[in-house]
Amino acid sequence: MNIIRPAVLTLSLLLSAGIVSAQTRDLSTSGEPLDRIVAIVNDGMVLNSQLDEQTEEITARLRQQNTELPPRNVLRRQILERLVVEEIQIQRADKLGLQISDEMLNGALANIARSNNIEFADLPRALAQQGVDYRSYRDEIRRQMTLQMLRQRDVIGRINISPREMEQAMARHKNSPNQNSEYNISHILVSVPVTASPEQIESRERRAQEAYEKAKAGEDFAQLALTYSDSSTNIEGGSLGWRKGSQLPSIVSEQVVKMQAGQISEPIRTPSGFHLFRLNEVRGGTQQSVVAQVHARHILLTPNDLEDDQTLEQKLNDIRNRVLNGEDFGAIAAVTSQDPGSAPDGGDLGWAGPGTFVPQFEKELNTLNENEISKPFKTQYGWHIIQLLGRRQHDATDDKMREQVYAQLRESKAEEETELWLRRLRDEAFVEYRM
């Protein structure tokens, strides 16, 4: 079992960054450092040992992928530049006070262990079997998570997608065939010569319209194709067969998204003539997505130097009793809850599906009947009581499509904005190479 490579893949998905092996700075018996500096970066540095280990790891990866390697000095220069840019980012994160808590780090490491089908407690031993120091591994994972947190703050969090952009993207999405669907289509072409006179064009248009009217009236489309179509597929009844959405010509794709199976398009004029399409059948693609949702509201209290867990638990018990005796949950939540997102709405969390809340919160929700109020319980955010307002089965197909389109828009902007942001950071930094 190789933990290093799966760990890299897992964290690449979570963090959009690779793993750089952490270094120790051992001293020789004479007190001289065994390492040397290859770049000064502001008030920090990049060590030769970091460069060596990155070079070896990336070289091994490229060989495994059968990728032709550039000259070693070129590769090392490219890797050094990446390490320099990472060091600049880490320095910025330090200045901003961005920190990855042990709880967040342990959560990421637990995911890595889970993806490798081992227990979290067994991760140090599994890494040691591959010659990897667990403490150094933790430090490097923390470093990569810090880089992602910084990118989230400086880039992702500042990306703005206007309602107009969103609606245009949704329209494009709806007006293009589902890439995962397959479409069975038949076609009639009434051709028009390039040098046709206006009278000839009019005659060909009448012929196409005649074929359309007959098809619309229910006559067999395949037979009509044999009679009217000038396409090479007329012998096959005009059949174009099964085509994936991504394989459809634009003239076809613009039509099929507007059609139901069995429908026929009106004649469409192109330089080659007049076209009719029949959508015979659709298979695959996006299915209806129905999810169970809950509507709840809560009150959150967070521990501080003056109020410990026991105090907050008792406070919430008192509030719960007040509501059970007739007071309004929303009114109390508005003035008491320390959740800034929901308190102004009386603690209302809206309709939410599975995975919206942390596991302990969802566990408590699942035990409640409608209008029931939970006993106080603790999550990583503090102490809560919840009132369940309702449950429903919700068709989330459109919601999921909107989420996907939004994510695609944000990701397309994020890629370019990240490059610009990194270039600005690099240009503003002092860097001295010592290779």
pLDDT for res 354 = 84
Per domain, the residue ranges of the chain are 4-157, 179-284, 290-395
The size of the chain, in residues, is 435
Q: Hey, how many other C-beta atoms are within 10 angstroms of the C-beta on 53?
A: 16
Domains 179-284 and 290-395 share a fold: yes
Tell me which CATH code domain 290-395 carries: 3.10.50.40
Q: Give the CATH fold of the 4-157 domain.
A: Triger factor/SurA peptide-binding fold (1.10.4030)
pTM: 0.49
As a whole number of angstroms, the distance between CA 217 and CA 215 comes to 5
In the structure encoding, which two tokens stand for residue 320, read together? 């719960």
Predicted pLDDT of residue 303: 87
Residue 116 makes CB contacts below 8 A (sequence gap 6+) with: 1, 3, 6, 7, 126
* pLDDT of 177: 59
pLDDT confidence of residue 175: 60
Q: Name the residue type at position 90.
A: I
DSSP H or E run through 124:
helix 123-128
What is the rounded CA–CA span in Å between residue 91 and residue 94?
A: 5
User: Which class does domain 179-284 fall in?
Assistant: alpha beta
Per-residue pLDDT 10s for the chain (435 aa) are 555 433 333 333 233 333 434 333 444 444 555 689 999 999 999 999 999 988 998 888 888 877 777 788 888 998 999 899 999 999 999 999 998 989 899 999 998 999 889 999 999 999 999 888 999 899 999 999 999 999 989 988 888 888 898 888 777 766 665 666 788 999 999 988 878 899 999 999 999 999 999 999 999 998 898 889 988 777 778 888 888 775 676 677 777 777 888 999 999 998 888 999 999 988 876 555 677 889 999 999 998 888 889 999 999 999 999 999 999 999 999 999 999 889 999 999 999 888 889 888 999 999 999 999 999 999 988 999 999 999 998 776 677 777 777 876 787 677 678 888 998 999 999 999 997
Nearest-angstrom CA–CA distance, 11 and 164: 34
